[in-house]
Structure 1
Amino acid sequence: MSNANEPVTVRILEREYRVMCAPEQRRALMESALFLDHQMREIRDSGRISSIDKIAVMSALNLAEEVLKLRQQLADREEMIDRRVRQMAIELDQGLPGD
């Protein structure tokens, strides 16, 4: 099995882009392209922006905001789990007979 990158063509807003991709990442690339195409179509179809460059920037900003929000949620969840684990350890220590 070869891990060499292969060219993959994706279509976003009626434009084709050739991207080099490892075979095992092809599916994720295709799904990402479909997702981006959908996002960009929504912005274009809203009628407020027609320039493909501006549509791409707005899509990038929307996706960046979503990524940052998800990162914060993950950090908050990890902090909550860490606090809960520490609390459970304290409770276990208090509930077990001493040495």
Structure 2
Amino acid sequence: MSTETTIDINVMGQKFRIHCAEDEREGLLLAVDFLNKKMQEIKSGGKIVGTERITIAAALNITHELLNMHAGKGFDIKEFRRRIGLIESKLDDALLESDHQL
């Protein structure tokens, strides 16, 4: 079993503290970098304004790409939902912690 660790991340200028398994740290940091790049692309396009709208657009784009990539390759929707649930839980925790710091 992997040990837990805490990392500080920055998404579009907002700081979050995320708890994750030590063996998932590198993957999470890669995901943060990927998300920031997607969000910056959307922001630079100038058609969508506001961090919340940019975040939703990035999430939709990434999800669409993922589903297209796995189409026809035995995509495991249960595993996908489980992982999305874990990510949502970590983000909810980070948002709550961020709100309490304000």
Q: Same fold (TM over 0.5)?
A: yes
Gaps of 5+ in 1: 76-99
Residue 73 of structure 1, CA deviation: 4.4
- The aligned runs of 1:9-48 (5 Å cut-off) are 9-48=8-47
Kindly tell me the number of residue pairs found equivalent between the two proteins: 75
Residue 48 of structure 1, CA deviation: 1.2
The percent identity for this pair of structures is 24
Instruction: Give the whole-Å Cα distance in 1 for the aligned partners of 2:72 and 2:17.
Output: 34
Name the TM-score, length of structure 1 as normaliser. Answer: 0.68
Bigger Cα Rg: 1
The higher-RCO structure (CA 8 Å, 6+ apart) is: 2
Give, as a single letter, the amino acid of the residue that structure 1 aligns with 2:11: I
Give, as a single letter, the amino acid of the residue that structure 1 aligns with 2:6: P
Gaps of 5+ in 2: 75-102
After the TM superposition, which parts of structure 1 deviate over 4 Å for at least 4 consecutive aligned residues?
none
Name the TM-score, length of structure 2 as normaliser. Answer: 0.67
Residue 66 of structure 1, CA deviation: 0.6
